[in-house]
Amino acid sequence: MTNRNVNVQPAAGRAVEDQEVEIVERKGLGHPDSICDGIAESVSQALAQTYLDRVGTVLHYNTDETQLVAGDAAPAYGGGEVQEPIYLLIVGRATKEYEGTKIPAETIALEAAREYLEENFPHLDVGTDVVVDVRLGEGSGDLQTVFGEEGSVPMANDTSYGVGHAPLTETEQIVLNVERRLNGEYSDENPVVGQDIKVMGKREGDQIDVTVAAAAVDEYVANLDEYRDAVADVREYAEGVAREYTDREVTVHVNTADDYDDGAIYLTTTGTSAEQGDDGSVGRGNRANGLITPNRPMSMEATSGKNPVNHIGKIYNLLSTEIAQSVVADVDGIRQLQIRLLSQIGSPIDEPHVADATVVTEDGVSVSDIEDEVEAAIDAELADVTDITRRVIDGELSTF
């Protein structure tokens, strides 16, 4: 039915949802590592779009190396200030000239970074609180060729690996959504909550502990009482979110490192700890599905900032996640699905060397019952691999 090397097999162990101890983490939008991921990916999208606009095809680039050097700040009730700016260095490779057409890669990168920061960090004054610098070199010569013909499937130029999972466990859903919604609808209404929100979930049996570290924005905090209220509000909101995803016991802790007696609270001027003491870089935080999941195999690849046309690690990490989600949505009886793709150098990327599906089925379902269905679904997704590239360029897929 398919000439792709798709292999469906039962998982050897229990689904993560059924393991005794589970740990999940998410570094939110304003975490210094995530700031770097976000900028790297924004720069990548802007470059890819520019290449398409100007020369009709995406040229060689990689911008997955943004480095953030923390600043120094003096937050204060009612509004403090940044003393020494954050320094943000955009690093990578880009093609700056192609058949006579010049591509202003560095100014594009700066503009994309600035727009990203201004859109997502309302309390950060770009150019004053943060210096954005850039060093985009040319790549090595042999990589500067164009990527294949329009519409064709690129060849894998490296042995690389991607892994994806579905569905998310309850703990994973909680961790992901608590952060996203705090950084979405909640902070829209409550500007006291900054963008630097880190969520850790730990499940032992049926007890889930959710630990939230959320930066408060000093401008909206008049005194300690208001701070305590803000913390209590976050806790209450996060508990509400968590309960939408589980019937297990949930306890939410917020800003556990605070010491009210010592006056040690998580107050910031800009909404991120990057303002004082926390450096960051790309690929050090969330994996492509937005989470850090020590209970599951993970890829070490930094997905953000990589070229979505030819970086096989980026494509396979996003694609394996998409496949897993799609198969689980379409095929009944799956309790846990892991998709693993391994590239074959020199072969088209829609023909991976190995495409493993490892399944834990629901009670009463055997792998053989669903094997054909799963294979067909994987095959269909692989056939559509270039769609991933397009969606990444359009910013439809999150990479961190």
163 binds its own copies (CB under 8 A): yes
Q: How far is the CB of 396 from its own copies (least distance, A)?
A: 25
- Output 145 or 366, the one with its CB closest to its own copies: 145
- What are the C-alpha distances in Å from 263 to residues 196, 274, 323? 20, 20, 49
359 binds its own copies (CB under 8 A): no
Stretch that binds its own copies, among 136-144, 216-224, 306-314, 316-324 (CB under 8 A): 136-144
183, 272, 276, 326: residue in contact with its own copies (rule CB under 8 A): 276
CA-nearest of 343, 352, 347 to 381 is: 352
| Residue 349 to residue 306: CA distance in whole angstroms | 16
Q: Site residues for its own copies, window 205-224 (CB under 8 A)?
A: 211
**DSSP conformation class of 303:** -
Interface size with its own copies, residues (CB under 8 A): 86
232 binds its own copies (CB under 8 A): no
Is the preceding omega at residue 167 within 30 degrees of 0, hence cis?
Answer: yes
133 binds its own copies (CB under 8 A): yes
- Output 143 or 376, the one with its CB closest to its own copies: 143
Stretch that binds its own copies, among 146-154, 173-181, 241-249, 282-290 (CB under 8 A): 282-290
Q: Site residues for its own copies, window 301-330 (CB under 8 A)?
A: 302
243 binds its own copies (CB under 8 A): no
Tell whether 139 is in a known binding site: yes
- Length of the chain as a residue count: 400
**Contact map string, positions 54 to 93, toward its own copies, x by CB under 8 A:** --------x--x-x-xxxx-x------xxxxx-x-x-xxx
Question: Is 13 within 8 Å of 336 (Cβ atoms)?
Answer: no
391 binds its own copies (CB under 8 A): no
Q: How far is the CB of 221 from its own copies (least distance, A)?
A: 17
- Output 1 or 12, the one with its CB closest to its own copies: 12
Residue type, 218: D
Give bridge partners of residue 267 from the DSSP assignment.
216
300 binds its own copies (CB under 8 A): yes
DSSP string, 124-143: --BTTTEEEEEEEE---GGG
Residue type, 175: V
Dihedrals φ, ψ of 378, to 5°? -65, -45
295 binds its own copies (CB under 8 A): yes
Stretch that binds its own copies, among 41-49, 153-161, 171-179, 390-398 (CB under 8 A): 153-161
| Residue 108 to residue 86: CA distance in whole angstroms | 20
Stretch that binds its own copies, among 6-14, 178-186, 328-336, 383-391 (CB under 8 A): 6-14
Tell whether 142 is in a known binding site: yes
**DSSP conformation class of 182:** I
Alpha-carbon torsion, ordered 198, 204, 205, 210, to 10 deg: -30
Q: How far is the CB of 392 from its own copies (least distance, A)?
A: 20
- Output 72 or 387, the one with its CB closest to its own copies: 72
Question: Is 315 within 8 Å of 385 (Cβ atoms)?
Answer: yes
Extract the tokens encoding 21: 């101890």
- What are the C-alpha distances in Å from 343 to residues 150, 160, 314? 21, 5, 12
The distance from CA 395 to its chain's CA centroid, rounded to whole angstroms, is 12
Tell whether 201 is in a known binding site: no
Q: Site residues for its own copies, window 24-53 (CB under 8 A)?
A: none
Question: Is 280 within 8 Å of 33 (Cβ atoms)?
Answer: yes
Tell whether 219 is in a known binding site: no
135 binds its own copies (CB under 8 A): yes
Q: How far is the CB of 114 from its own copies (least distance, A)?
A: 5
| Residue 345 to residue 27: CA distance in whole angstroms | 33
Question: Is 28 within 8 Å of 196 (Cβ atoms)?
Answer: yes
Dihedrals φ, ψ of 153, to 5°? -90, 125
Q: Site residues for its own copies, window 186-205 (CB under 8 A)?
A: 200, 202
- Output 13 or 184, the one with its CB closest to its own copies: 13
- Output 151 or 346, the one with its CB closest to its own copies: 346
Q: How far is the CB of 200 from its own copies (least distance, A)?
A: 5
| Residue 61 to residue 104: CA distance in whole angstroms | 13
Give the H/E segment covering residue 162.
Answer: strand 161-166
Tell whether 140 is in a known binding site: yes
172 binds its own copies (CB under 8 A): no
Binding-site residue set for ATP = 137-142
Binding-site residue set = 137-142
